[in-house]
Chain A
Amino acid sequence: MSQSRKVSGLLPSLEECAPIRGAHDLSERDVAALHLTQERLQGILVGHGYERVDVPVLEHSDLYLRKLGSRVAARLFNVTDQRGERLSMRPEFTGSVIRSYIRSASSLPLPVRWQYCGPVFRDDEAGGPDVARQFTQLGVELIGAGGPRADAEVIAAACGGVDHLGLGPARLIIGHSGIVPRLLEGMQLSDRVRMYLAGHLDLARQGVDGVNQLRTGLEEVRTRPGSPPSGSDPGFETGAGSDTDLMAWLLGQGTTSTTGRRTTEEIVRRFRTKAQGTDNPAQVERALDLVAALSAVQAAPEVALARGRSVVQQFGLDPGAFDELAALLECLQPFSIGSTSISVDLGLTRALGYYTGVVFEMFSERVQSGPLGGGGRYDGLVRALGGERDVPALGYAFTVERLLEAADRPLPGVAAQAAKTLVAPRVAAALSHAVRMVEAERRAGRVCLLELEDRPDEARKAFCIAAGITRLVSVDSDGAATEQTVERTASYAPAGAP
């Protein structure tokens, strides 16, 4: 029994012939649809002045770990190269595009308008078979332009793309990643609590359970003085003890003196900083209330802004935090955005962690698996990835597969395949005539295939029908050609053909 299992293990089973979970094989038709969509969107973007660039599929893992945020960092496909360098397959383009920009920044006039298209890879351990692990992103980066006009132009370009593809009405949802962090700055909280809240806003909109989860998380990150395990306290709480006292206490507690590779000084320094920045629990709870209240605001732009400002005023904070968002909405008005409807969602968050300003997502009713695309402003990224100065920038990316899913009928232009001709030499001596004919056809811009097999006429006809070939030319040794039109008849239709 074990013998037979071993043998069968050598041959790929049907399952092993399938692509990996979350990736797909594409047929001619799929590829044509994908390319056509890409070409159309890229054409529009070229019209906006976006130049096409490309970047490698593999990058140093660091590039993504630095700024992506844990939701995407945890989904990286990682590899180690033969020298032991840690590399990752790109989970998105922005990191690479910005890296590429930084390299050539000095020679580029700002703003830079770049567009890209290609596959991205995101692993997903828990995800089911429907979670895509490879998909195609098409997007733009507008680097070196700040302010609402740039925001509006980029958003309008995204809407224009969806409109141009004829995908039917789309919903544009706009939020702003800078509002909550700015409001939290006025609330006497430690950096840690602020960053945690700003990074977990998605929980705040998941009702009572989400808010409770947020509260539990905050309890963990809330900065509080470390409690000495036992024994005398050389002024820990008050910060009165000297560093020497603290160190003596540290080392004298009967513990081993293991500190890993950190020095005692480092530990003590950080301990003191931490003790000074202790969070007041009531203040943390207030911040949680604020975040929960703002995250619940989803409405038409004017209504949402009014509600947001009123929430902020109740908390005695500055309603000026909404000015940028309001300015963007104002700027967006003269742009034509087709049949797209706009709403504002103050709790909108994106999986990527680098956004600092306006964020947006586009949805179609026909696609349930997620947004068609989205993006936002990430003014801090250029410096975070090694740029010498802050450069304002924003961008977005579409998931091309979702755009295709949103098209309820095949995109015009995909269905009509080019007419194909098959040229068959009747005898071996006819080959040179046949080749000349095939080459002439191709030069004339037609699709022409050379018959590679000697087979009976009936079998050849059946092949033509199955392969979608409409014209069959048979060539004799003297160069005489007989032409026939192949029509699909019921008896020739291959199994499973429509």
Chain B
Amino acid sequence: MLRLALPSKGELESPALAFLKACGIGVNRPNSRQYTAEIPGLRGATVLFQRAADIAAKVAEGSVDLGITGLDTVKETLHFGSRVDVLIEDLDFGGCDLVVAIPETWIDVSSMADLVEVAEEMRAQGMELRVATKYNRLVRRFFLEKGLNFFSMVASTGAIEVAPTMGFADVIADLTSSGTTLRENGLKTLSDGTILNSQACLLGNLDALRRDPDAMATTKAILERMEACLRARDYFTVTANIRGESAEAVGMFVMNEPDVAGMQGPTVSKVYSRHEDGMEWYATTVVVRKDKLLRAVEHLRGVGGSGLTVSSPNYVFGAASEAYQRLLGALDRAPVA
């Protein structure tokens, strides 16, 4: 049985459920007080709802096999090195940045280099720059790498943004997605003060997966679906009716512009219609990257296309699941416990 941990509440909860649903592995959770659930479309998996901040540690200790949570908490909590692997780093939701924020009134500070100088000034006065954060480890490393050696961490949970106003910290490091909360609390960011670009990710316990072939098989199914669903978001399917002498001729026309001629090439199939001039109609379908849509439309029109329809694929599968291949590689490299 594969145990998958999902965020039980907070900002990641509903996007995570929506994402799984889009992947075709929607979670059946009878009510929000229940902390376990099933995935009807995926036998052999059980879902456990956990606090997003705890999930990385749960995967690391092996009490669950897979987990979906923010990359920020993963980078902050994972001390266990090779036993846990991030299987898919970007699930395309929960995007936010871990940033250093300082009082807006510090008009003399616009970069980390400024902050280093301020910290040294404060130290000369017998104070130490205080930073309030939940991300001790990431912040400490970031500060030291930027040459900011003299600071102390103020342990803080809850509303970190008010720490400078309350006077128990000078600066903060916290997550922000739009910056609104920071601005409303009289804080601003630094030009080079982004510690981490975070989003939701999927992680797995390598030891647990190695031990249990069934869990591994279920993981493969999950990775395949997630990857195909994520990849599909980059593509449109475009279908056009094109007049031509033969399917080959139409195919060749479309192939003239390989960039917008589909992943391998166009699919061309005959349309059975009344034809007056000896020409046939062919329905031609290409899958193109979203940013190439208008070029694809132009191109199909240019070769005589009409009646163009555009739709979004639900899944786009490659020849093999890249995430699964990566997982196999990680299992190969990781020492056997």
Contact = CB atoms under 8 A, between A and B. Distances in A.
Q: Which of A13, A125, A220, A257 neighbours the largest number of chain B CB atoms within 10 Å of its CB?
A: A220
Given A70-B144, A256-B185, A264 B117 contact: no
B118 interface: yes
Contact of B104 (A255, A262, A274): A255
A74 B110 contact: no
Interface string A176-193: 000000000000000010
Interface of B: 1, 62-63, 81, 102-114, 117-118, 121-122, 127, 130, 141, 144-147, 149-150, 164-165, 167, 169-171, 185-187, 191-192, 335-337
A220 B113 contact: yes
Interface in A413-432: none
Q: Which of B108, B127, B147, B185 neighbours the largest number of chain A CB atoms within 10 Å of its CB?
A: B108
Given A74-B144, A199-B147, A267-B105, A258 B113 contact: no
Nearest to B3: A2
15 contacts: A1-B1, A15-B335, A65-B149, A69-B147, A70-B145, A73-B144, A192-B113, A199-B147, A226-B110, A255-B105, A258-B185, A260-B164, A271-B107, A271-B108, A274-B108
B187 to A, nearest CB: 8
Given A70-B147, A74-B144, A267 B107 contact: yes
Nearest to B190: A220
Contacts of A70: 144-147, 149
Contacts of B81: 21
Contacts of B144: 70, 73-74
B112 A220 contact: yes
Q: Which of A14, A66, A256, A271 neighbours the largest number of chain B CB atoms within 10 Å of its CB?
A: A256
Interface string A245-282: 00000110101111111101011101100100000000
Q: Majority SS of interface residues in chain B?
A: loop
A253 B62 CA distance: 52
B103 A258 contact: yes
Contacts of A220: 111-113, 191-192
Nearest to A272: B108
Contacts of B170: 260-262
Nearest to B211: A5
A198 B185 CA distance: 38
Given A74-B145, A255-B186, A256-B186, A228 B121 contact: no
Interface of A: 1-2, 5, 13-15, 21, 65-66, 69-70, 73-74, 125, 192, 196, 199, 220-221, 226, 228-229, 250-251, 253, 255-262, 264, 266-268, 270-271, 274
A5 B147 contact: no
Contacts of B113: 192, 196, 220-221
Given A70-B144, A262-B170, A267 B149 contact: no
Contact of A73 (B63, B149, B192): B149
A464 B158 CA distance: 67
Q: Which of B110, B112, B150, B169 neighbours the largest number of chain A CB atoms within 10 Å of its CB?
A: B110
A229 B336 CA distance: 56
A258 B171 CA distance: 11
Given A266-B121, A267-B106, 15 more contacts: A1-B1, A192-B117, A220-B111, A228-B107, A251-B105, A256-B104, A258-B103, A258-B105, A260-B169, A260-B170, A261-B122, A261-B170, A262-B170, A264-B105, A270-B121
A255 B184 CA distance: 9
Given A73-B149, A74-B141, A220-B113, A262 B107 contact: no
A251 B122 CA distance: 22
B165 A258 contact: yes
Q: Which of A74, A125, A228, A250 neighbours the largest number of chain B CB atoms within 10 Å of its CB?
A: A74
A264 B104 CA distance: 12
B107 A260 contact: no
A110 B231 CA distance: 70
Contact of A261 (B102, B109, B167, B187): B167
Closest 7 CB pairs of A and B: A256-B186, A260-B170, A271-B108, A221-B113, A65-B149, A74-B144, A270-B108
A13 B191 contact: no
Contacts of A192: 113, 117
Contacts of A258: 103-105, 164-165, 185-187
Contacts of A262: 106, 118, 122, 170
A225 B28 CA distance: 57
A274 B115 CA distance: 13
A425 to B, nearest CB: 46
A74 B140 CA distance: 8
Contacts of A228: 107
A71 to B, nearest CB: 9
Q: Which of A221, A226, A260, A262 neighbours the largest number of chain B CB atoms within 10 Å of its CB?
A: A260
Contacts of B165: 256, 258
B105 A2 contact: no
Contacts of A65: 149-150
Given A196-B113, A228-B107, A256-B165, A66 B192 contact: no
A177 to B, nearest CB: 17
Contacts of B103: 258-260
A66 B120 CA distance: 10
Contacts of B171: 260
Contact of A259 (B105, B110, B130): B105
Contacts of A229: 104
B297 to A, nearest CB: 38
Contacts of A251: 105
A15 B337 contact: yes
Contacts of B112: 220
Q: Which of A69, A256, A262, A266 neighbours the largest number of chain B CB atoms within 10 Å of its CB?
A: A262
Contacts of B187: 258
A489 B150 CA distance: 65
Nearest to B125: A266
A268 B109 CA distance: 11
Contacts of A253: 104
Contacts of B150: 65
A226 B107 contact: yes
B39 to A, nearest CB: 19
A287 to B, nearest CB: 16
A65 B128 CA distance: 13
B105 A250 contact: yes
Nearest to B83: A15
Contacts of B114: 274
A196 B121 CA distance: 18
A5 B167 CA distance: 47
Nearest to A8: B337
Contacts of B102: 260
Contacts of B62: 5
B207 to A, nearest CB: 9
A412 to B, nearest CB: 36
Contacts of A196: 113
Contact of B108 (A66, A261, A267): A267
A274 B264 CA distance: 58
A229 B110 CA distance: 12
A253 B121 CA distance: 26
Contacts of B108: 226, 267-268, 270-271, 274
Nearest to A126: B141
A250 B141 contact: no
A74 B104 CA distance: 28
A216 to B, nearest CB: 9
